[in-house]
Each structure stands twice: as C-alpha cells, then as structure tokens.
C-alpha cells in the first residue's frame, strides 16, 4: 500500500501510552475518524478492543504491538520532574529507538513522535519562538534531555518509505489531568502553591482536545509534516498566575496569594530535588517534589511560541479556547467558570 493510500481512513494505527489523558484522547479521536486503533501500554484500558500490554523496555512486546500496523503515534514516556537518568534513558531513549526500529521493520509507513517544547528550552525566556532544534546537552532536566535525544533519533530516520514527524504539545491540560490541573488544585487547597515573581511570566498552554486534534493532524498531514518538529499550543499566551487562578477557581479552591522571587525558587528547587532523590524511592513512587529547578524555571520564565508554521503545515487551528477550556474544567470539578 502506498503512503498516499494510507492517508485515507481505515488505517491501522498503534498508539503508545494510551492509558494517559492525551494518549487516550488521541486513540478516541482516531477511532472516531474511522481508523483501526491498537494501543500499547503497561496497564489495561477500560473498553479497549485491541491492545497489547507491555513496556517499551521489552523488545518482544514492542514487536507484537507494531505487527501489522500502518502507522505509529508514540506518546508513552517516563514523565517526571525528577528521577534517575538511567530510568529516563531506558524508556524515553532506548525504548523509543526500539519502537522505531520495530515499526520500520514491520513495514509501518509513518511515525508521529510526541515530544515536548522543553527539548529546546534552555532556561532563557522564549517569546514568540519557533520550534528550535532539540539539544540533549542543553535541555533542562532529565525528562527534557531524554526526550531531546529521542526526538533526534526519531527524525534521523525520516525517509520516503518511513516518514517521521515530531509534534511538541506545550503544557497540555483539561478535565482529569493529573500532571497539572489536579496538582495545582491539591496544592492550592493545602496552601502549598506560591506564585513565582507574582505569576507574571507569559506562557502558552494547550487544551487537551486541541492537543489530540493536532497530533492526529500530524499523521494525516505527514506528506507536509515529515522531517519537521512542530510546537502545538492554543496560541493564547497568558500570565501564568492568571492561568493558575483560573484552574483554582474551576477546582473550587482559593487562588494562591503568596509570591516568591523566581531566583529564590530556582535555588531552592535545586536543593529540594537533590534531597528528594537522596530520600530514595519511597518519595518517587507516590509524588513529585514540591519544587525543582526545572519547575521553577517553567513557572518564572516566559515561554510562548509562534504558531504560524504549525498551523500552515498541519492546516489546523485550535477549536477550544482557554476560557472555554476553563468552563469545561469548572463543569468537571464543580468550581467557577470565567465570568461567573
């Protein structure tokens, strides 16, 4: 089957990491568009009809997952603000290489690598920036460094018969999100959520429906997207304090009032991260440290992106604005929507 023929509906698409919020949304959208979806993750998903359980660190399981697939959308990753480099390497770098080689050997034509803008964020403000080149030597934190190395490995394999694109959704959030929304709500409820530099840093984010839609468009527009890295956002930069306050109101908890200097939080984050790692696995299994240097940089440094190339290449625009997303968040958590 030619690549052009595979752009039609009814493709056989493997989605890794489908037990997560974004992976699940991508798998659901693909099914709604008429594709035949197989999922690959470590734990079973409710209602899944075609899934392979296993880890990216198990080559045999990976080969079973890609068998017979036309395309792969790869979201599975170790996502954490802290942890050992070995763990990030095993899943994010070696696991991605295993999946790439297995997919290519199995005859898959297209591979969407879901990356992160952090692969090209080196601690300095990003204001209206393009995607930038992934750099594992300069990216901040083990997650970003490992994703940068994996992205470079993926794009290096782009070819006429095995097309690869990297889609970098930025700060994805929505109802049921445990990575950002529910941590913000929980920490605000317990009074453990200060703003850094008054929450003035301008950042862009991506509502979950928009992120899933753009990732699927990456597959559908592979003829134009392959060989590229594209950052995905809502295109609505806002002060981080405003966004956090909106999430808190939607979650029915008080917005933070305490402000801490960003330089102080960055220094404290470095110390806390080292102490957290030294405490051993009992902390790492259950929670993230309250602050790391990477997190402090993200909360106190501007990072928003020029979306013109992304929207042109993908022929795509976000369908759900920030305010509408906050309304949906309030409906889910029983809080207050914008304007109420």
The β-bridge relationship of strands 71-74 and 110-114 is parallel
* pLDDT value, residue 245: 94
Could you tell me if residue 220 is inside a domain?
yes
Considering the domain boundaries, does residue 260 fall inside one? no
SS3 category, 43: coil
Burial state string for 208-217 with b = 16 or more CB within 10 A and e = fewer than 16: bbbbbbbbbb
Please check whether residue 277 lies inside any domain of the structure.
no
* pLDDT one-digit tens code per residue, 313-338: 999 999 999 999 999 999 999 998 88
Does residue 36 form part of some domain? yes
pLDDT at residue 303, as a whole number:
87
| Number of structural domains found in the chain | 1
What value does the mean pLDDT take over residues 284-313? 77
- Each residue's pLDDT tens digit, 132-157: 999 999 998 899 999 999 999 999 99
Cβ of 129: how many Cβ atoms within 10 Å?
17
Q: Does the residue 195 lie in any domain? A: no
Which pLDDT tens digit goes with each residue over 233-292? 999 999 999 999 999 999 999 998 888 777 666 676 666 666 666 666 444 444 666 666
Give percent of the chain above pLDDT 70.
Answer: 87
333 belongs to the catalytic site: no
> Against a cut of 0.75, is the pTM above it?
yes
Separation of first and last alpha carbons in the chain: 54
CATH code of the domain covering residue 91: 3.40.50.720
> Which secondary-structure segment (H or E) carries 39?
strand 36-41
The confidence score (pLDDT) of residue 165 equals 98
Domain extent at residue 25 = 5-173+204-235+303-319
User: How confident is the model at residue 8, as a pLDDT?
Assistant: 59
CA distance 126 to 303: 4
Show the CA angle centred on residue 207, arms to residues 45 and 287, nearest 5°. 60
pLDDT at 23 over 50: yes
CB 119 within 8 A of CB 225: no
Output the six-digit token pair for 70: 């036309």
In a domain, 62, yes or no: yes
What residues does 37 pair with on adjacent strands? 13
Asked whether the predicted pLDDT for residue 293 surpasses 70, the reply is: no
In the set 143, 162, 276, 294, the catalytic residue is 143
Q: Note the maximum CA span of the chain.
A: 59
């Amino acid at each position: 089957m030619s690549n052009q023929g595979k752009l039609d509906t009814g493709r056989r698409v493997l989605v890794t990491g489908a037990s997560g919020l974004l992976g699940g949304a991508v798998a659901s959208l693909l099914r709604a568009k008429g594709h035949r979806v197989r999922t690959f993750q470590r734990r079973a998903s409710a209602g899944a009809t075609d899934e392979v359980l296993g880890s990216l660190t198990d080559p045999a399981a990976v080969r079973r997952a890609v068998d017979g697939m036309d395309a792969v959308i790869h979201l599975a990753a170790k996502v954490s603000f802290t942890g050992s480099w070995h763990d990030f390497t095993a899943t994010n770098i070696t696991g991605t290489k295993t999946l790439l080689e297995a997919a290519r050997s199995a005859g898959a034509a297209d591979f969407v690598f879901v990356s992160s803008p952090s692969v090209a964020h080196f601690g300095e403000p990003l204001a209206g920036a393009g995607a930038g080149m992934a750099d594992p030597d300069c990216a901040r934190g083990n997650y970003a460094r490992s994703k940068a190395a994996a992205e470079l490995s993926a794009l290096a394999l782009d070819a006429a018969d095995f097309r690869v694109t990297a889609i970098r959704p930025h700060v994805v959030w929505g109802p049921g999100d445990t990575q950002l929304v529910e941590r913000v709500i929980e920490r605000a409820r317990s009074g453990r959520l200060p703003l850094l530099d008054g929450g003035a840093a301008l950042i862009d984010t991506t509502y979950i429906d928009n992120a899933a839609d753009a990732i699927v468009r990456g597959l559908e527009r592979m003829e134009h997207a392959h060989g590229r890295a594209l950052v995905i956002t809502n295109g609505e930069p806002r002060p981080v304090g405003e966004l956090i306050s909106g999430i808190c109101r939607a979650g029915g908890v008080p917005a933070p009032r305490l402000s801490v200097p960003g330089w102080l939080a960055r220094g404290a984050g470095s110390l806390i991260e080292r102490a957290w790692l030294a405490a051993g696995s009992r902390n790492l299994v259950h929670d993230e440290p309250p602050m790391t240097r990477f997190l402090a940089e993200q909360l106190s440094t501007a990072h928003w992106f020029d979306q013109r190339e992304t929207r042109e290449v993908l022929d795509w625009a976000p369908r759900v604005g920030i305010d509408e997303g906050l309304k949906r968040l309030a409906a889910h958590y029983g809080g207050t929507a914008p304007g109420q």
